[in-house]
Chains A and B, each alone.
Chain A
C-alpha cells in the first residue's frame, strides 16, 4: 500500500451547491461516489481471500490497522475478472458504521457536481451495474454513473 490520497469532507452544503465526487473507472465506464462516503484511496496489491464470503468479495486488506473487506467491482457488476495493474485502485468507502473497500481499474479525478446535474438512471444501462447506479450525470462528453454505496456493500441483505 504505497500511495494514498485523503479526500477532504465538504462542509454542509445548501441545496444546489456543487458536491465533491470521486471518479473511478471499471472497464472503461466511469463511476462516482460522493466524497462524504469516501474515506481514502489506495493502490491495490491484492487482498487475502476469505473462504465462504460472497463471490464478489475479493477478500480482506489491512488499512492503517483496520481490517477492511474488499469488493471487486468487476465481479459485482458481472464482468470477467482482470489481474490488478499499476493503475488499479482501491476506493475505501464508509457508511452507517461499515467500512468497505471497492476495487476499481483506475481512480484519478475528483469533480464537483450539482444536484441539477444528476439525473435518474435510464433503463438501458449496462445490465451488470443495474440497481447499483442511483444517478447519471453528463460531464462534457463523458457519462458518469453515481453509485449507491449501500447497495454495493449489500446493506439490504444485512440484518442490522
Chain B
C-alpha cells in the first residue's frame, strides 16, 4: 500500500456498449487504462445492456484487428474486477457454468476474467467511490 494520496480518485465504470460496432466499450477501456496509469483506482467495471457482450469468450476478431477481449483480460490482470450483469447477460446469451446447468444448455461462454453479478454489486460498489462514469 502506498501513502495516502489526496489526488487519487476511485472510479466505477458503467459500460453499455458492445465489444464491436460502437466505440463506447473501447473508450471505457482507454479511460480505465489511463486512470490506472495516473495512479487512480478503478474499483469495478460493470457491464450492462449490450455491454454484456464484452464478456463473451468467443469474440473472434480478425488477426489484424483490435482484440478488445485481450485488452479486458490485461486490465483484469491489473486487479480490476469485470462484472457483467447476470440478467442482462443471460438474455443476450452470455452464460457461465452455473447458469448453463440451470438452463440445461450444453456449453458456456463467459470469459474467465469476467464474473456474472447482480445490479446490486454495481449499486454497492458505486456507493463507495468518488465517481461513476457511464459509457454508452
A and B, one complex?
no
